[in-house]
Structure 1
Amino acid sequence: MSFYRNRGLRRAVALLCGVSATALSPTLLAQDQTGADKNIDEVVVTGSRIARPNLESPVPVTSVTAEEIFETGSTSVGDLLNDLPALRSTFSQSNSSRFLGTTGLNLLDLRGLGTQRTLVLVNGRRHVGADILSNAISPDTNTFPSDLIERIDVVTGGNSAVYGSDAIAGVVNFVLKKDFEGLQFRGQGGQSGESDGGNYYGSVLAGTNFMDDRGNIAINVEYAKQEPFFASDRETMARQGLFVLNQQDPVSGAGIVNGSDGIPDRGYFHDVRAVTFSNGGSILATPATTSGFAPCGRGPNLVLINPMTPALGFVNSPYSCPLLFTPTGDLVPQTGNRIGFGPNGNFDGGNGSNNREGKLLGIYPTLDRVSVNVVGNLEISEGFKPFIEAKYVQTDSTRWGGPAFFQGSTIDADRERPRFDNPYLTDANRAAINATRASAGLAALSGSTRFLLFRNLADLGGRQEDAKRETTRIVLGANGTFAENWNYEVAVNYGQFREDTLVYGNLQVQRFALAMDSVRNGAGQVVCRSQIDTDAAYSVDFLFDTDGIANNEPSEIYANSQLAGDIAACVPVNPFGEGNITDAARNYLLTDTTSVGKIDQTVFSASLSGDSSNWFSLPAGPIGVAVGFEHREDEIFFEAEELVAQGLTFYNALPLLAPPKAKVDEVFTEFRIPILRELPGFQELTLNLAGRYADYGDAYGSTGGVFAYNGSLEWAPIDSVRVRAGLARAVRAPGLSDLFSAQSQNFAQINDPCASRFIGGGTSTRVANCLAAGVPASYDHVYQATPEIRSGGNPDLNEETSDSLTLGMVWQPNFIPGFSFSADYFDIDIEDVITAPTAQQIMDACYDAPDLNNQFCGLFQRWDAAGGPAFDPGSQLTDPQAPYALVNGTLQQTLLNYASSTARGIDFELNYARDVGNLGSFSTRLVYTRLLQLDDYLDPANPNRPDQVLYELGDPKNAFNWDTDFTTGKLKFGYQMRYIGRQVINLAEEVFEVGGRPPQNEDYAVKKYYHGLFYHDVRGAFEVSEKVNFYFGVDNVADKLPPLGLTGTGAGSGIYETRGRFYYAGVKLNF
């Protein structure tokens, strides 16, 4: 059993739990205090540093208590919080693997405004961050001890004046147990209904008082394990479901569709097999013209017809003829139903690959977590109470992804495409290729001509990334009381996060390019051509080159230094057919690479709080005051081994990140001013004011000194009703990774704005600007592969600022004991948002501006009429070195203070708890969020045009949790319903009127929405004795999986459950 030695605190906790027995509570309204209740100690609530005589907060607070965490059976605090409607599932376990370096992280994202805009605290103090490559600010909530948490407070709205930078969207404060006494053991295990995705947890929590109960120390040791599962383990995920373009809705054969014409642009297919991804390798023979040849058919086998509109009798362009290499190296036609637009299109079903086989798509990563936490305090005197918080956490996480691949220009168009005289290509295959080309009206290939081959290198194994992370944090401080009602606290808070990442089987791209070019030597043996022909030597000198010409950049110098060794060790590769790459070739091509990262944070803080009662009081009471000072130092470091840093592996090039240590000094103050009290219509009227000044010096870009402030008003016209309103200015200084991240390699999907098929989609100046840039009107290039771009930080960034408004009320009627209802409106507007315009936005903004004299046109380069230096139409090298096309690696995607965001909505919360005669006790809680607006303003050419995020994947308009418990005797039963509202299939602008513009394309697909989903969870517990409690539960009873091809791994789709039905059981022992 646990005991609280502070009687007043124990009463406060009892009051909290009594009003919200099911754990998620609104900010509570003060009860009439009679008798002993008047002795309740003043407490500090999240959202303010001033102690208060009740559990009221001047800002909206939603709390999750220890009982909630225990009853849900959740072993991941982050995933539990993501079930709250106020938090977006941006980084949950199911989608933490979609970016480099984030595998296994749980990062919190209030209101969907970005993890870097949610300030996460422990006991009101900062916690060291974890996401080094993104913002280095957001802590990994996996490192927080589940059984040592007393409650979690979620505060909406800007709180920089109280807590400092980053509290743009709000604050999540983890309050740890204090004065725990006893010994508690807990063990739990669970698995999905498919007998995978296991989740196991064990915890020991021990605490004791000492020195006549003036001191307390508690230690918690936890172990948690998450087992992985893969898309191939779920029937609906094992097949790739996609929306595919409808050939019945074309624009004059141009390969694009008509919008809003009554015919769906896309149909949904359950088993899509692409022609450009194959585990054994695929080649295409694209028909020479759209009319003379159609060897592989015209038009779709499956036709979508709007029942309200007759099908169009349009003859579509012919399909190309894909041939697949079998494991034996033979060529066979790809089978299945042709879908999508020619000349490539896709197949529904058939013998192609779907990128879901085996471990090609991991849904949950593995996660092993060991944590040790210590909390202690000692009351030497009323004026001196030292305390300590310490933790060490080690997590090991592994993710699996698809293998390395090539599509003709993924690595280097001139080297990854095999020559027609490749010795591994049989005469029969050469004849089959040329026969197919002839039927398509194309000339035969011969000799050294290179041809396009698409291949997933599945026989090299999938990409596996192991991340070992260590989090250390220690807080040493003291607090105390003097002059009866004044309190102080001083503390030093040090945190370190360290990450060691190991990537298994990283493909060395320079070696791959050498191994792909093979020839028979004089003895008839197949060898690498570079070993007998010096002209075939090749170094990866294309990385970040702006003109395709050697320029002695570091990556080129390093590649050249490795060339001789790579040629000497070269082992030729047979790329034709899965399983034909030998062990020797695999060992030559693959290497295990490492990287290391570290974040250090030190915070010195001192605060003083009290009230004016020793000197004066207003008629309604004394003025509450808090003042304080903070000094913070941040330091980050990331380094990948040189092979990766210089871009010689398939893994993205990751340069060194080692900015100087940054320091910030802050001073803050807060006032609580009672205006009226216990008057008719004014049981209470209180004004709260807070301000903070932060000096960022020269280390945080152009931020300098910034000021944040809060103001709120609390009004209780009668005992049972409380109204609150608040205004706040919050700031977020750019993080060190925002400022100093080096230019690194990335890839982007781009529709060229000057291509004739896209040129009509911009402003009235786009056509003229494209011509002025030298791009002819006949240009109509489509990038077959994702172009390489550079992305990185910007040392000239300024701070972000937000203005937030909150209006709310709490109703707790005396005539319904145990009932409370709250409603809070929030409006958050952020200016100077730090974000990087996408590659698409950069290119569009260049040509959509009034002229070419703008900041965006200088961020990329194009080829001239001759194309790239290796361009050869005879060898099909058309992308990305075609005339006038984007020069690969030249587009610079840098961070800018140019965007803005707005979030508005209403949070509702209802709680009711009561005894049911002699049967037992009943409690229920509803937490509901209705978003009214969620817009980004990201268009550089039109900064006032909203990009609606509301209703898009991950951001439904409506979401709620409804939780009910019934306790009778030693038994307790619980039920939770969670609802996620509908979300649009693609973009909100296509379905809704946005910014005065009508819906842009209501016919985007046969379905407009991912339908709303209800999840149902049940749980039960049996208290054998005061010391033994057995519990069990079933989450997602209806076994719901993500809809319409989603897997939970992509952006936004993590909002859905991915494991299906999940069973768990456990036992808790108290001594």
Structure 2
Amino acid sequence: MSNSTKLQFANSVRRYALATASVTALLTSAPLALADDAAAKDPELEEVVVTGSRVVRDGYDAPTPVNVLGADEIKAAAAPNIADFVNTLPSVAGSATAANSAGSLSNGQAGISALNLRALGTGRTLVLFDGQRSVVSAATGQVDTNTFPQALISRVEVVTGGASSAYGSDAVGGVVNFILDKDYTGVKATAEYGETTYGDNENWKFNLTAGAKFAGGRGHVLFSGERVRQDGVHYYSRDWNKSGYFGVRNPDTSAGAPWFIVSKNVGISAYTPGGLITNTALKGTYFGVGGAVNQLNYGAVTGQWMIGGDWKYSSSGMNGTNSLAPDEERDSLFGRVSYELTDHLSVFGQASYAKYSGLSYYINPTQTGIVIQADNAYLPASVKAQMTTLGLKTFTMGTSNADMPASGSNNERETWRYVAGINGDFEAFGLAVDWDGYYQHGKTETLELETPTWNTARLTLATDAVVNPANGQIVCRSTLTNPTNGCVPLNRFGVGVASQAALNYVLGTPWRTQEFKQDVAAVNFRTNSIEGWAGPISLAVGAEYRKESMDGYVPTEYQASGWKYGNYKVTKGDLNVKEAYVEVLIPLLKGLDLNSAGRYTDYSTSGGVKTWKIGLTYSPIDDITFRASRSRDIRAANMSELYDSGTARSNSVNINGASVAFVQNLQGNPAAAPEVADGYGVGIVVQPRFLPGFAASVDYYDIKVDGVISFVTAQQTADYCTINKIAAYCNNMIYSGGVLQTINLYYANLNKMIARGLDVEASYRVNLADLYEPLAGDLALRLQATHYIENVTDDGVTAINLAGANTSSTPDWVYRFSASYKLDDWKFDLTARGVSDGVVSNAYTQCLSACPASVSPYFTINDNHVDGALTWDLAVNKSFEINNMDLETYFSIKNLFNSEPVLVANPANLGAENTVGYLQTNRTLYDVMGRTFRFGVRMEF
């Protein structure tokens, strides 16, 4: 290819990149400036493949929106990791982060950052690294984006729409592609520190990146290393979380009263930190510090809850036990070597390693219904005397176990990824063809380690403490008949009374190791030179083979279901996928283009499926583009959904107003069929020539997923059985002696999921001197908003719209506005992030009196309103040069005005044991850490 031809092709690619960015109204300074500069400085600019499509050609406007987050935006955000920045996009809703996954004790997901487009679930968002798949971090199929080399990400492309036909399974909600800066040359480093305005959550980040050419420019080598450390915030709650704000069953059960009541000063009536007697004439007696005997002042009791009274004390053992932020240690290394064998053929090899370790606490484990014998050796004398007077042989007790550590996870993960690839170009049959292929082997090894949690059998034995008549020592009753059983008696009556020896006996640290492997081989061919009647036709074809497997190990003592948490079982399985695709772009008329794709995928677990898409773009004039798309997408079951062997965990559900403990047993289903999604999208893009630098777009989407792979939750199972009287769900609730023991949950193809919404974007970029000569500097304004109209999962019994419910991740509106001003070496960025007002649930009816009858899940409530919020961020950057070294210092403030999160009542979860310890807000929508400062310096040689 001659230099003039290369330059012509580079300009064509540049125009394509600019057109695609314009279509999505993302005219931000970074991507456009980079594209212009690259074309001007490097006549051998490589081909740019935008994630929205595998075909590339001049002047094509993508039929599905593609959000491009450029390097300048990423830098300005100064987020601890790129995923946190991506999560600020309104179309990204309900993502898993290291901060909000603390409760994932038994499935190994704690600490994973996994993206969620359209709130369709992280498993329905395909995450790519430089267009390639990456090995999963958990059996649930999630890819931890923190395993990617953060310092080498040049941009992030987000396709908010079905893309299975172009990229394969899991792209129901869309694709997020982290693009690698493969051609970086030089040396750069970053040092960064952050903490909150409260002086906690201290964190550090250091990275070093280097790239160089060799062999006369035919070869290129790249290296990057990063270290991240974060101090978590545990056993502590901000003041805004201390008002006892909950939604609970109304104590007033008279006709016409609301079923649920939202109130402050709500606490627990079923237990206290050191133990509370819950029956007999001694009901309300509780044990305080050192075993002191007190009487609880009950408020208005409703099941395990009460309003008023000693609500603050009864809940004190739980408040703040869910970590505000986890401890984190992350280390990563990345290396890449590429070489041009000829002018038309290049090869590359790359390897990466990422290690994560993190600690987060879920909850202080509670226990109710503990039977205490009258001859218990640790009973305070006054209580023992009362039992003798009243003729009581036993009583029951509830406790939040203040003497025991909170339950949580201390996980470790190591991920290795190796890629070898080849790419080139050739001419055949008069066509210029570009092609590439790669092979990837990835492996993730995990250590899923619980923090100390109790063994139920040992706890029962240790609680039943008596005086040995032979020597007057306190022993376990079981030791009298079995002297070698090793039981150590445990004092359960008070705070600060348990011996370390007894705790060592009842507590254990269940653990499991898992290994996930992924092998991928893929090849792709593209051409833009097929002559058509209205212009060149672009064609892409390719094929891919993928094999995934998982295995693990669990010590025998932790495979039983006798532990409070971490009742692991070995889960193993494998699958392979063979697929091929074709995508074509055909100019039909001037300004009218057709983009179509089809893919055939053959799963070893469920057989063959077909996916496809059809997209149209029409530009009657240069100022306006109309676009529409229709797609068929699929998602096959992941290895957890197929093979989970029944990981058990202790939990609680609400039955008739009372919290009932049980063991939750979730099992896989090898017969789970792939989900099938039908997606529609229409939109309009405006780029008026009379207002240069301005663009706006509005896009409507409608996605329906049939055969959703999921499970009916434990609380739903209890409601459907006890309230709706559905026998099939009653069969999943296993009782023994009238006491609930287990609720079996199964992955299955539920009815359907529906997501409908509207994306609105607008941007304006201008040099202020063009508006008014005395002014100076570049100004870039950008607005992004998503209106969630409908988000429904139909499980066959109910279909509740979660859109507009601020207890979910899809309020009516989520919006983000940013203003960037650059003057010489200074850059200022101001960002506003907001959510609209919403409701607790669209299934609830708000009323104070004369309320209609409630039938699960359609309840009445006294206050169904949840406030919205607006949060501001500020960043300041200063660039300068010292001794031929480019330096950039930056300072950012997240949550500039230290806005407190909105309190969110969620009575649907009032039976879960984590309710008190969890933050009474929605941490996916509202900022819980408060004002956060970050300082850093970037250096480049």
TM-score over 0.5 for the pair: yes
Q: Tell me the CA shift for residue 403 of structure 1.
A: 3.2
User: 1-side partners of 2:325 and 2:41: how far apart?
Assistant: 52
Q: Which of 929, 935, 940 is 2:786 aligned to?
A: 929
Structure 1 partner of 2:582 = 669
In structure 2, what residue type is equivalent to 1:428?
A: S
In structure 2, what residue type is equivalent to 1:120?
A: V
In structure 1, what residue type is equivalent to 2:446?
A: E
Q: Check the 8 A contact 1:244/1:269 in 2, yes or no.
A: no
Alignment of 1:510-549 (within 5 A): 510-521=457-468, 522-533=470-481
Alignment of 1:584-603 (within 5 A): 584-603=501-520
Structure 2 partner of 1:1066 = 936
Query: Could you list the per-position Cα deviations for residues 453-494 of structure 1 after superposition, in whole angstroms to 9, with x for gaps in the alignment?
Result: 111222132224211111111211101000062011111012
What secondary structure sits across from 1:888 in the alignment? strand
Structure 1 residues 214 and 343, CA gap change in structure 2 (3 angstroms): closer
What secondary structure sits across from 2:510 in the alignment? strand
What secondary structure sits across from 2:600 in the alignment? strand
Structure 2 partner of 1:131 = 138
User: 1-side partners of 2:715 and 2:528: how far apart?
Assistant: 56
Alignment of 1:809-958 (within 5 A): 809-842=684-717, 856=729, 858-861=731-734, 868=737, 881=739, 887-889=740-742, 891-917=743-769, 918-940=775-797, 945-953=799-807, 954-958=809-813
User: Does the alignment pair 1:417 with 2:371?
Assistant: yes
Alignment of 1:680-699 (within 5 A): 684-697=591-604
Structure 1 partner of 2:367 = 406
Greater Cα shift, 380-389 or 620-629 = 380-389
User: 2-side partners of 1:75 and 1:511: how far apart?
Assistant: 43
User: 2-side partners of 1:987 and 1:515: how far apart?
Assistant: 47
Structure 2 partner of 1:960 = 815
Query: Could you list the per-position Cα deviations for residues 36-59 of structure 1 after superposition, in whole angstroms to 9, with x for gaps in the alignment?
Result: 999987532112111222574332
Q: Which of 473, 488, 492 is 2:435 aligned to?
A: 488
Q: Check the 8 A contact 1:231/1:356 in 2, yes or no.
A: no
Greater Cα shift, 50-59 or 827-836 = 50-59
User: Does the alignment pair 1:174 with 2:193?
Assistant: no
In structure 1, what residue type is equivalent to 2:732?
A: L
In structure 2, what residue type is equivalent to 1:732?
A: R
Structure 2 partner of 1:975 = 830
User: 2-side partners of 1:505 and 1:663: how far apart?
Assistant: 38
Query: Could you list the per-position Cα deviations for residues 167-190 of structure 1 after superposition, in whole angstroms to 9, with x for gaps in the alignment?
Result: 111111111112111111111111
Query: Could you list the per-position Cα deviations for residues 891-927 of structure 1 after superposition, in whole angstroms to 9, with x for gaps in the alignment?
Result: 3211111221111111111111111115211111001
Structure 2 partner of 1:388 = 349
Alignment of 1:21-40 (within 5 A): 22=28
User: 1-side partners of 2:345 and 2:40: how far apart?
Assistant: 30
Q: Tell me the CA shift for residue 404 of structure 1.
A: 3.4
What secondary structure sits across from 2:211 in the alignment? strand
User: 2-side partners of 1:140 and 1:991: how far apart?
Assistant: 40
What secondary structure sits across from 2:571 in the alignment? coil
In structure 2, what residue type is equivalent to 1:712?
A: G
Q: Tell me the CA shift for residue 621 of structure 1.
A: 1.7
Structure 2 partner of 1:65 = 70
* Greater C-alpha radius of gyration: 1
Q: Tell me the CA shift for residue 74 of structure 1.
A: 0.5
In structure 1, what residue type is equivalent to 2:76?
A: E
Q: Check the 8 A contact 2:898/2:931 in 1, yes or no.
A: yes
User: 1-side partners of 2:179 and 2:303: how far apart?
Assistant: 59
Structure 1 residues 662 and 670, CA gap change in structure 2 (3 angstroms): same
Which is richer in strand? Answer: 2
Structure 1 residues 269 and 424, CA gap change in structure 2 (3 angstroms): same
Structure 1 partner of 2:914 = none
Q: Tell me the CA shift for residue 342 of structure 1.
A: 7.2
User: Does the alignment pair 1:606 with 2:523?
Assistant: yes
User: 2-side partners of 1:24 and 1:934: how far apart?
Assistant: 34
User: 2-side partners of 1:12 and 1:1065: how far apart?
Assistant: 37
User: 2-side partners of 1:386 and 1:55: how far apart?
Assistant: 29
Structure 1 partner of 2:382 = 428
Structure 2 partner of 1:559 = none
In structure 2, what residue type is equivalent to 1:797?
A: A
Structure 1 residues 464 and 910, CA gap change in structure 2 (3 angstroms): same
User: 2-side partners of 1:267 and 1:35: how far apart?
Assistant: 62
Alignment of 1:634-653 (within 5 A): 634-653=548-567
What secondary structure sits across from 2:73 in the alignment? helix
User: 1-side partners of 2:423 and 2:26: how far apart?
Assistant: 30
Query: Could you list the per-position Cα deviations for residues 351-405 of structure 1 after superposition, in whole angstroms to 9, with x for gaps in the alignment?
Result: 7242566862211101111111223422222331112332111111111233333
Structure 1 partner of 2:627 = 724
Structure 1 residues 361 and 820, CA gap change in structure 2 (3 angstroms): same
User: 2-side partners of 1:987 and 1:851: how far apart?
Assistant: 23
Q: Which of 890, 893, 910 is 1:1031 aligned to?
A: 890
Query: Could you list the per-position Cα deviations for residues 823-880 of structure 1 after superposition, in whole angstroms to 9, with x for gaps in the alignment?
Result: 111111000001112335446656899996xx555434556xxxx1xxxxxxxxxxx5
What secondary structure sits across from 1:418 in the alignment? strand
TM-score after normalising by structure 2: 0.89
In structure 2, what residue type is equivalent to 1:686?
A: D
Structure 1 residues 63 and 1013, CA gap change in structure 2 (3 angstroms): same
Greater Cα shift, 142-151 or 922-931 = 142-151
Structure 1 residues 653 and 377, CA gap change in structure 2 (3 angstroms): same
Q: Which of 252, 270, 278 is 1:284 aligned to?
A: 278
Structure 1 residues 105 and 72, CA gap change in structure 2 (3 angstroms): same
User: Does the alignment pair 1:202 with 2:58?
Assistant: no
Q: Check the 8 A contact 2:800/2:843 in 1, yes or no.
A: no
Structure 1 partner of 2:287 = 325
Amino-acid identity (%) = 28
User: 1-side partners of 2:420 and 2:776: how far apart?
Assistant: 49
Which consecutive residues of structure 2, in runs of 5 or more, have no partner in the other structure? Answer: 1-5, 770-774, 906-916
User: 1-side partners of 2:279 and 2:783: how far apart?
Assistant: 59
Q: Check the 8 A contact 1:402/1:462 in 2, yes or no.
A: yes
Q: Check the 8 A contact 1:230/1:358 in 2, yes or no.
A: no
Q: Which of 95, 98, 103 is 1:98 aligned to?
A: 103
In structure 1, what residue type is equivalent to 2:934?
A: Y
Structure 2 partner of 1:296 = none
Structure 2 partner of 1:1020 = 876
What secondary structure sits across from 1:459 in the alignment? coil
Q: What is the number of residues matched between the two proteins?
A: 898
In structure 2, what residue type is equivalent to 1:360?
A: T
User: Does the alignment pair 1:498 with 2:352?
Assistant: no
Query: Could you list the per-position Cα deviations for residues 728-770 of structure 1 after superposition, in whole angstroms to 9, with x for gaps in the alignment?
Result: 0001111121111112324555566xxxxxxxxxxxxxxxxxx
What RMSD in Å do the two structures reach over aligned CA positions? Answer: 3.3
Structure 2 partner of 1:224 = 228
Which consecutive residues of structure 1, in runs of 5 or more, have no partner in the other structure? Answer: 288-319, 409-415, 436-443, 535-563, 678-683, 753-780, 869-879, 882-886
Q: Check the 8 A contact 2:845/2:861 in 1, yes or no.
A: no
User: 2-side partners of 1:998 and 1:421: how far apart?
Assistant: 48
Q: Check the 8 A contact 2:29/2:780 in 1, yes or no.
A: no
Query: Could you list the per-position Cα deviations for residues 433-453 of structure 1 after superposition, in whole angstroms to 9, with x for gaps in the alignment?
Result: 678xxxxxxxx343xx33111
What secondary structure sits across from 2:216 in the alignment? coil
What secondary structure sits across from 1:184 in the alignment? strand
What secondary structure sits across from 2:702 in the alignment? strand
User: Does the alignment pair 1:251 with 2:254?
Assistant: yes
Q: Which of 363, 368, 374 is 2:335 aligned to?
A: 374
What secondary structure sits across from 1:93 in the alignment? coil
TM-score after normalising by structure 1: 0.79
In structure 1, what residue type is equivalent to 2:666?
A: S
What secondary structure sits across from 1:531 in the alignment? helix
Q: Check the 8 A contact 1:245/1:340 in 2, yes or no.
A: no
User: Does the alignment pair 1:797 with 2:672?
Assistant: yes
